[in-house]
Amino acid sequence: METKMTKKNILYFACSWFSTQEKEFMEKGQQALKQNPTVDWENTFRPLEHQYHNIDVSQHPEALADPAWQMGTFRNDLFGIDCADFVCGLFLPKKPDSGMAFEYGYAYATHTPIVSVIPDDDQSEINLMLLPSVTRYLYLSELATFDFNQIEFDLFSATAF
């Protein structure tokens, strides 16, 4: 039996990947999570790796107009959240993503704890509905060493909009 110190948690890895800035932030977050001893990276649900019928929309953007692909990808993502110990979102407050906002809302409604990771130098305002829904905010530099086994709600000092 694993102790709290050695338990590896399965995450739902939420992030935006539509711009160069988002992709760079995603890569930094992935590297940090791979180093984190309390994260089961191998079994972490990464939505980009679970698109319906393995269709890569960056290679096949026409799939975005396909209702079957939309529903399949949506349902796979919800299943990923349902099976996760935590949602870990890489959140850029200056570029909020409506899909990630939905994922946070769904996780909150299903009592799945949310860890939201923001850039170290970001002091931006955060949407009022997102700010208190998150269990714990972290800066990217904290992610590799954050103990997901010792999580508690923590107020985050940010201005809401």
Instruction: Measure the CA–CA gap between 57 and 60, rounded to whole angstroms.
Output: 4
Provide the residue count of the chain: 161
Query: Residue 139: which residues within 8 A CB-CB, separation 6 or more?
Result: 117, 118, 119, 120
Instruction: Measure the CA–CA gap between 16 and 100, rounded to whole angstroms.
Output: 7
Residue with tokens 């130098």: 121
| Residue 2 among the catalytic residues | no
Instruction: Measure the CA–CA gap between 17 and 134, rounded to whole angstroms.
Output: 21
Catalytic residue among 22, 49, 103, 125: 103
Pairing mode, strands 136-139 and 86-90: unpaired
Helix, strand, coil tally for the chain in percent (to 5)? 45, 15, 40
User: What are the residue numbers of the active site?
Assistant: 103
